[in-house]
Structure 1
Amino acid sequence: MFKQPFFKYSFFILLAIDIAYALGIAIATSSPISGDTALAALVWFVTFYWLPVWAAAILIFYLRSKNINKLALEWLIVTSFMALGNTITDLTLTTLFDQYQPLGIFVIFNGLFWGSGIYLATIYIESKKKVVTEKHARKQAQLATLRYQLNPHFMFNSLNTISAYIHTNPDLADEVLHELADILRYSLDTAEQQLIPLQQELAIIEKYLNIEKARFGEKLQINYNIPTPLKNIKIPPLLIQPIIENAVKHNAQQTKLILNIAISTTDNGIKIIISDNGKGFNQHVLQQGYGKGVGMKNMQQRIQQLSNSKVMLSNNNGAVITLDITL
């Protein structure tokens, strides 16, 4: 019960309100700060703020655990406990200080006023937190969906390669099958991870290229321009590999296909530039950001889920994809 964040934060918030209220009254009435002032503030805090609010919260959380969640009932509980607390505070202060003037019937109005304010503020904070939590959950669900879309898409292309060699070159087909198994295992192992070391992504790209080299041989070449320290930075998994796959798929007729991966740091993260010497993007893809396939559209949507990150497509003697990723 007391593991609820409400109990952790409300204590200090209520204490701050009590101190500010006591100081405000002292300043407004030009009263000196004394031991009696501190004692009165302590009584107010314990019997009016802290215990009534926590008692009401305990009862409300208990009712919620029983699936009883009605705003009117919760409001009534809070205001009733605050009115009761104010009554106890009034009696305590009357006993301790001869000069204290009892509030009388105003303890009820005081309870209604403070109880309503505290309850409405708490409901507002809870609703905002719920919206943030639900938004985060939707974002994670969408990312997971996008990730899982890659698996059948990539598997289909790789199985075609294996099928082409299973009779003519069984050893090569077996080697390709093992590389595919490693890639799919990697995809499953990183399914719950938001970020992985760049080195892992590069390793999986090498395995993918080993599969493709079974089809294209030495006509496929990849160049890396990645400072060694950057290989330890963390990026979303399976982010670069689909881009490489897309480049190979759309430039399969090239006499020699050269792929380049360059990574550098920026003020807020990293910049990844992936280019090739292929036929480049058509105007439609440049305007929309992706074509009819799954891989590039998937990558675009994943990048959109990363705050302040973006993708830029261009042509420069081939296709150029620039990823600005904020980390």
Structure 2
Amino acid sequence: MFRHPFFKYSFFILLVIDLSYGAVLSLLSNIPISMGNLYAALIWFVTFYWLPVWAAAAAIFSLRKKGINNTPLEWALAVTLMILGNTVTDHTLQLFFKWHTPMGLNVIISGLIWGSGIYFFSRYLEGKRRISIEETARKQAQLATLRYQLNPHFMFNSLNTISAYIHTKPYLADEVLHELADILRYSLDTAEQESISLKQEIDIINKYINIEKARFGDRLTLEFDIPENLLAIQVPPLILQPVIENAVKHNARQKQLHIVLKVDISDQLLKINIKDNGCGFSQTLLDEGLGSGIGIKNLSLRMAQLSRGKMHLSNDNGAVVALELAV
């Protein structure tokens, strides 16, 4: 129970509140700081803040563990324990410090105010934390869904490529099927991984290009412009392959298709630029969106889920896909 983040953070938060409250009272009352005042502040912190708040939290978490989640009951527990802590604080200060004035009914009023404030502020922080966890889980689920949509699409296109020459060039079939098996294994092995090295992604692109070269031959070339020190950097799995596949798919009639993949880092952003010398994107697609293609559309959605992730499409004597994501 005490491993809950509440106990780790609340101690320091309560200590700051206690010291700040004591400092404000000291300034307003023009009371000089002394060892006696510091001892009084320590007693106040332990008996009024720390122990009552932790006792209330332990009781509330215990109730929740049993399936009892009742806000009025939790609030009553917090206020009651704060009043009890205030009472103990009042009597302890009377016992050790003659100058302390009994709090009387202020014990209840103070306990009610502090108990309510601390409880509802804690609920607010807890709600923010829960929303953050849910948002992270939602993004991870969306990314997984997009990956699962992409994999069958990619495999279908690859099998179509193989079927185009499996009967006319059987001597290549075994080699290409091995490449396809490696790609499938990669897809399965990285299904639960959020990131892999850029080198791994490049290796799988080369395998894909080898499959397509069996159909296109020397008409298809791929050039890499990647500093060697960036090959170890982490990227999401299958983040580049859909762009290469899209370039090949939409330029199948090109007499000579040349694709350049450039990677660099600037302003803590990994910048990936993939350019081909094909027919480029239609103006309608650039003006209105990403069209109906699964690969590029899913890639755009995946990029939107990443930290500082962006994708931009343009034409420059062919199609240009620019990707950005935080390093």
- TM-score, with structure 2 as normaliser: 0.96
Deviations 1:237-265 (A, max 9, x none): 11111000011111111122111111222
Give the corresponding residue for 2:249: 249
- Output the CA distance in 2 between the equivalents of 1:260 and 1:36: 74
Q: Is the 8 A contact 1:303 1:310 kept in 2?
A: yes
Corresponding position: 1:56 with 2:56? yes
Q: Given residue 214 of structure 1, which amino acid in structure 2 is its aligned partner?
A: A
- Output the CA distance in 2 between the equivalents of 1:79 and 1:219: 77
- Output the CA distance in 1 between the equivalents of 2:13 and 2:73: 24
Matches within 5 A, 1:196-275: 196-275=196-275
- Output the CA distance in 2 between the equivalents of 1:273 and 1:77: 59
Deviations 1:63-97 (A, max 9, x none): 11111111111100000000011111111112222
Give the corresponding residue for 1:31: 31
Q: Given residue 254 of structure 1, which amino acid in structure 2 is its aligned partner?
A: Q
Q: Is the 8 A contact 1:289 1:300 kept in 2?
A: no
Give the corresponding residue for 2:133: 133
SS across alignment from 2:31: coil
- Output the CA distance in 2 between the equivalents of 1:309 and 1:268: 12
Deviations 1:200-232 (A, max 9, x none): 111000000111112111111111111222222
Shift of 1:171: 3.6
Shift of 1:126: 0.7
Give the corresponding residue for 1:177: 177
Q: Which contiguous aligned blocks of 4+ residues in structure 1 show a shift greater than 6 angstroms?
A: none
Give the corresponding residue for 1:159: 159
SS across alignment from 1:193: coil
Give the corresponding residue for 2:302: 302
SS across alignment from 1:232: coil
Shift of 1:172: 1.7
RMSD: 1.4
SS across alignment from 2:164: helix
Flag the 1:225–1:33 CA change in 2: closer, same or farther, 3 A: same
The unaligned stretches of length 5 or more in structure 2 are: none
- Output the CA distance in 1 between the equivalents of 2:220 and 2:166: 21
SS across alignment from 1:2: coil
Moved more, 212-221 or 302-311: 302-311
- Output the CA distance in 1 between the equivalents of 2:125 and 2:7: 14
SS across alignment from 2:183: helix
Deviations 1:283-309 (A, max 9, x none): 121123422210010111111112333
Give the corresponding residue for 2:67: 67
Shift of 1:326: 2.6
- Output the CA distance in 2 between the equivalents of 1:285 and 1:172: 37
Q: Is the 8 A contact 1:213 1:220 kept in 2?
A: yes
Deviations 1:135-184 (A, max 9, x none): 11111111111111111001111112233344443342222121111111
% identical aligned pairs: 59
- TM-score, with structure 1 as normaliser: 0.96
SS across alignment from 2:231: helix
Deviations 1:116-142 (A, max 9, x none): 010011011111111111111111111
Shift of 1:192: 2.3
Moved more, 140-149 or 161-170: 161-170
- Output the CA distance in 2 between the equivalents of 1:105 and 1:16: 26
- Output the CA distance in 2 between the equivalents of 1:153 and 1:300: 16
- Output the CA distance in 1 between the equivalents of 2:235 and 2:53: 45
- Output the CA distance in 1 between the equivalents of 2:219 and 2:106: 88
Q: Is the 8 A contact 1:289 1:313 kept in 2?
A: no
- Output the CA distance in 2 between the equivalents of 1:56 and 1:197: 47
Corresponding position: 1:85 with 2:65? no
